[in-house]
Amino acid sequence: MTPLVTTDAIVVESFVGPKDERSLADDVLDGLTRPFKELPPKHFYDARGGELFDRICELPEYYPTRAERAILEARAADVVAATGAAELVELGSGTAAKSRLLLHAMRAAGTLRRYVPVDVTEALVLATAAELVDELPGLRVHGIVGDFERHLGHVPEAEPGAPRIVAFLGGTIGNFPPGSRRRFLRGLARMLRPTIDHLLLGTDLVKDPALLEAAYDDAQGVTAEFNRNVLRVVNRELAADFDVESFEHVAFFDPEREWIEMRLRACRRMDVRVDALALEVAFAPREELRTEISAKFTPARLEDDLAAAGLRLTEVMTDRDGHFALSLSTPGR
């Protein structure tokens, strides 16, 4: 693998092609031919989807981003003191808006050595790397352009004696159904050395269903547009002809499974053609396509899920409303 950039302070390696639509094709073929249609949420995030998600984070109803930021603002120094972290690996780093708080706390504590952002968007990894080495003299950045579900094997080895935090923020762990969630957490645990390294995990918490549902069905309809955007992605990337506006946004809390589900409901009977896959997909009137689950946690279930992956909770931090949790855990029992 030839790095995209190498300077004294920055190395960025890419593991995705310029058009990495293979996984989209597989997911569409697989998901749209099931008895209950489904598409995985990772395909929301093209350029427009990314912008819509940024707008969601600013919505009055969408509390998770603000709650998690408030926790980090209050507790970043404690996290660094508790872990002695010299290195931060971040999965889905984006613009590093929240991890910046940690990097600055690491610098203040005198422990900061390296940041390893992992994100599918090359431009974000490059821009963030350049900004951060400027902002934090002495910092080295080793960026990985890749999918955190497929490319974790390319994360560089931890440096001997340098405590590492692997951060997975925003509550994105909630997108995994329970079985894959456990498998994914086990994969993260394998990146951590017992006693020296920690997982820093953001999880949204179970709360009043009305608050949860408002967060995923906002008054301005931004989440509805974000949801429908996945159909625009399929239209563009796979030459499909979804009539995007004929799908209605649905979001509800499933109290049994303790997750939010987002779906797209066909307003009428439709036959959709996906040219790139030579596929015809029929939708019955009011038929629903599941586009996302977003699991909400109780502290007990968080502890169980981590334990099942071989991780022991060492700290749970919440915002003042108790809406969101950031936890530290380490391999062991």
* Residues lying near ligand AVJ in the complex (CB under 6 A): 56, 64, 170-172, 174-175, 216, 223, 292, 294
Residue closer to ligand AVJ, measured from CB, 80 or 96: 96
Token pair in block for residue 293: 């689950």
Sheet holding 311-318, edge to edge: 5-6, 10-14, 140-145, 114-119, 87-91, 164-168, 198-204, 324-331, 311-318
Cβ pair 130, 206 in contact under 8 A: no
Least distance between ligand AVJ and beta carbon 137 (Å): 32
Q: What are the DSSP E strand ranges found in 72-163?
A: 87-91, 114-119, 140-145
The residue (of 13 and 319) whose beta carbon lies closer to ligand AVJ is 319
In angstroms, give the least distance from the CB of 68 to ligand AVJ.
Answer: 10
Which lies closer to ligand AVJ via its Cβ, residue 176 or residue 242?
A: 176
* Distance of closest approach, residue 298 Cβ to ligand AVJ, in angstroms: 17
Smallest gap from Cβ 98 to ligand AVJ, in A, equals 12
Euclidean distance between CA atoms 76 and 90, whole angstroms:
15
CB of 191 to ligand AVJ, least distance (A): 21
79, two tokens: 């996290």
Nearer of residues 115 and 216 to ligand AVJ, judged by Cβ: 216
**Cα–Cα distance for residue pair 188/182, rounded to 1 Å:** 10
Closest-approach residue to ligand AVJ (CB):
294
Q: Give whichever of 139 and 173 is closer to ligand AVJ, judged by the CB atom.
A: 173
Contact present, 311 and 303 (Cβ < 8 Å): no
**Whole-number minimum distance, CB 290 to ligand AVJ, in Å?**
13
Q: How far apart are CA 71 and CA 61, in angstroms?
A: 18
**Closer to ligand AVJ by Cβ: residue 175 or 318:** 175
